């Protein structure tokens, strides 16, 4: 009995560690797309459920899929900016068409993605992650004011809530340690919502109207539509996520002392592809490994897949309970905005961290970063720059993230993969006495 309770407690701890990231993505995307409270409740619920399904797909180890490591999966923040951009341009149906196509693409390339990784070194993935983080900041700033177009935008109430939430998160992150620090975003959302309730600006109607139980529904938002630029965007997002997941796999391999083979990696990629396909079918999100749970495994020392299985089952159970999902939808927009500054800022910080390791290696890498980040941000701010180009070329230029990503990939090939004809500098021998001098 004690062992069962202990395992359940450890599983719940993993759920708490990833919960803020899991619910923030649907809240941000749903708010940007203007979903109704009922639709937003469904989006949060199905996302929680599929986080559990994706996790279980990955921890199993059969002939076809599953890395067989204690890994937790959740919706990737890398997809937030692209999904909002696709939804704004083509509508919500194109989002799920692109997710479905990118999931099938990952399944198809899973067997040989290891050989494609060389096209996504840190200079490419770091540039892409940085671009995505930068393009998300305006979303966070708008939400801090109460949401774009809100009648009370920039009111003292919204400013107080957003900055109060951000300050709370900063203080927890600064003074807490271990698990409490790992869930600082979640604690900030709770504290901000409690403060908003005291101020009388929280509407509990969504919880009251939500049912106690519901069944999942394929293509809840309608039949998917397919747009080439949207599909290419999500394929790039998926490949960047696979590169990040590869790092997580090897980190867990080291922690659990399980050696990974190419076949294991292929099964891991295939499991992520299947999870993304399910995200497209059930109108959820692309899924990837959550690194915060790796930190929790290191901290607790518990490496059993059984604990992660319990976490996955808990997530699935919560996904069938709309009232639980509705409880997250009552978080005021301003509170979300404060938390989003920290979350999206961490995305930028992660990109900078990836780039800092290689930016000093060569001037070529600096040029790749400069051009890809500059073009990606520029196209995001001024999307009409390439409006006169043929539609077939606009597939690669209409979206800042795609434009920046393609630029990084092409320049990496030009600078780092093609043979160089430059003459090597002649090294002049230096006498020992000169060195001493």
pLDDT band for position 371 (cuts 50, 70, 90) = very high
**Residue 19 tokens, joined:** 């919960």
Measured on CA atoms in the order 279, 209, 184, 318, is the torsion positive or negative? Answer: negative
pLDDT band for position 429 (cuts 50, 70, 90) = very low
For residue 391, the model assigns a pLDDT of: 66
Structural domain boundaries of the chain?
A: 2-417
Residues across the chain: 437
Any idea of the CA torsion for 327, 330, 331, 337, to the nearest 10 degrees? 130
Mean pLDDT, residues 270-277: 95
pLDDT band for position 300 (cuts 50, 70, 90) = low
DSSP character string of 7-27: HHHHHHHHHHHHHHHHHHHHH
Mean pLDDT, residues 289-308: 78
For residue 225, the model assigns a pLDDT of: 95
For residue 420, the model assigns a pLDDT of: 66
Residue-wise pLDDT tens digits, 216-270: 889 999 999 999 889 988 998 898 888 878 878 887 888 888 888 888 889 999 9
For residue 19, the model assigns a pLDDT of: 84
**Residue 96 tokens, joined:** 């799920």
Mean pLDDT over each residue of the chain, to the nearest integer: 85
pLDDT higher than threshold 90 for residue 362: no
pLDDT band for position 284 (cuts 50, 70, 90) = very high
pLDDT band for position 421 (cuts 50, 70, 90) = low
Phi/psi class of residue 72: alpha, beta or left (left: φ > 0; alpha: ψ in -120 to 50)?
beta
Mean pLDDT, residues 90-94: 94
Please tell me the pTM assigned to this model.
0.77
181 vs 332, residue with greater confidence = 332
pLDDT band for position 302 (cuts 50, 70, 90) = confident
Cα gap 312→223, rounded to integer Å:
28
For residue 428, the model assigns a pLDDT of: 46
Cα gap 336→329, rounded to integer Å:
10
Residue-wise pLDDT tens digits, 14-72: 888 788 878 888 998 998 898 998 999 999 999 999 999 999 999 988 889 999 999 99
pLDDT band for position 395 (cuts 50, 70, 90) = low
């Amino acid at each position: 009995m004690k062992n069962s309770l202990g395992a359940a407690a450890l599983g719940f701890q993993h759920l708490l560690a990833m919960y803020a990231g899991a619910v923030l993505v649907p809240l941000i995307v749903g708010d940007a797309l203007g979903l109704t409270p009922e639709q937003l409740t469904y989006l949060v619920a199905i996302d929680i459920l599929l986080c559990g399904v994706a996790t279980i797909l990955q921890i199993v180890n059969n002939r076809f899929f599953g890395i067989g490591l204690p890994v937790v999966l959740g919706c990737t923040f890398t997809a937030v900016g692209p999904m909002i951009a696709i939804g704004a341009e083509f509508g919500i149906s194109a989002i799920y068409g692109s997710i479905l196509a990118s999931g099938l693409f990952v399944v198809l390339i899973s067997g040989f993605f290891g050989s494609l990784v060389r096209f996504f070194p840190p200079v490419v993935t770091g540039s892409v992650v940085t671009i995505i983080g930068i393009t998300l900041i305006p979303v966070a700033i708008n939400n801090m004011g109460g949401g774009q177009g809100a009648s009370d935008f920039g009111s003292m109430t919204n400013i107080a809530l957003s900055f109060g939430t951000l300050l709370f998160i900063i203080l927890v992150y600064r003074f807490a340690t271990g698990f409490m620090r790992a869930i600082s975003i979640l604690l900030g959302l709770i504290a901000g919502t409690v403060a908003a309730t005291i101020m009388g600006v929280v509407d509990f109607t969504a919880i009251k109207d939500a049912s106690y139980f519901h069944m999942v529904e394929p293509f809840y938002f309608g039949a998917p539509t397919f747009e080439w630029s949207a599909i290419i965007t999500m394929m790039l997002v998926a490949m960047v996520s696979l590169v990040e997941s590869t790092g997580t796999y090897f980190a867990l391999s080291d922690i659990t002392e399980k050696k990974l083979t190419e076949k294991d990696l292929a099964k891991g990629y295939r499991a992520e592809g299947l999870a993304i396909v399910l995200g497209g079918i059930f109108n959820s999100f692309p899924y990837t490994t959550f690194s915060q749970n790796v930190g929790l495994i290191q901290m607790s020392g518990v490496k059993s897949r059984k604990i992660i299985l319990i976490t996955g089952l808990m997530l699935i159970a919560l996904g069938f309970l709309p009232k639980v999902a509705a409880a997250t939808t009552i978080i005021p927009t301003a509170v979300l905005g404060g938390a989003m500054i920290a979350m999206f800022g961490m995305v930028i910080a992660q990109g900078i961290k990836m780039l800092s390791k290689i930016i000093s290696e060569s001037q070529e890498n600096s040029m790749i970063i400069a051009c890809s980040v500059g073009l990606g941000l520029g196209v995001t701010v001024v999307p009409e720059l390439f409006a006169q180009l043929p539609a077939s070329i606009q597939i690669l230029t209409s979206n800042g993230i795609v434009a920046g990503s393609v630029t990084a990939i092409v320049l990496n090939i030009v600078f780092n993969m093609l043979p160089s004809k430059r003459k090597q500098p002649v090294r002049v021998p230096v006498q020992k006495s000169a060195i001493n001098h």
